[in-house]
Amino acid sequence: MVLLDQKLNTLQHIINDITEDLGFFGSIISSEEGLIIFTSNQVDPKIELESLAAKAASLFNDYREFSENPEDVTISYTDKKIFIQKISLTNNSDNGILLITIMPQNIRYFRRKVNKIAKHLSNSTIIP
């Protein structure tokens, strides 16, 4: 139990640091069904997290009908940008989670930092 708590704290620390350092509005980790697993401590209170996670899951599930299944999607609004990335947890691509990052519209070079979170998630043994 102590080891699990340490891993969760480390993951929380990484997500919080990257979210704060880049000026993101928040980060969400959800299941492919849209259930929230984990969020950064600092999330814009105007954002409905459950609704966003469900819409992200729906977006990726709808893409399964097409021949090309994207690994990430960027949605731009006038005041923010939402980057959604599918992360495989095992060699089987059917088992994964979604990393949803909400950021200001003017942030351009964000993929490297978001990929740092994704790398920690894919190497993590604490996410089911």
φ, ψ of residue 127 in degrees (nearest 5): -85, 130
Quote the number of domains for the chain.
1
20 domain-assigned = yes
Closest CA to 11 of 120, 123, 115: 120
Longest dimension (CA), the chain: 44
pLDDT for the residue 45 = 83
pLDDT for the residue 34 = 92
pLDDT for the residue 55 = 92
128 domain-assigned = no
Helix axes 111-122, 2-21, angle to 10 degrees: 170
127 domain-assigned = no
Angle at the Cα of 31 from the Cα atoms of 29 and 35, rounded to 5 degrees: 90
pLDDT for the residue 11 = 77
From the number of C-beta atoms within 10 Å of its C-beta (0-12, 13-18, 19+), residue 5 rates as: exposed
| Interatomic CA distance for residues 89 and 97, integer angstroms | 7
65 domain-assigned = yes
Question: Domain range holding 46?
Answer: 2-122
pTM: 0.82
Strand partners, 58: none
CATH of residue 60's domain is 3.30.450.30
Closest CA to 110 of 53, 27, 8, 9: 27
Q: Could you tell me the mean pLDDT of each successive run of 10 residues in the chain, 128 residues long?
A: 71 82 87 89 86 90 64 88 85 74 88 78 60
| Interatomic CA distance for residues 9 and 112, integer angstroms | 22
98 domain-assigned = yes
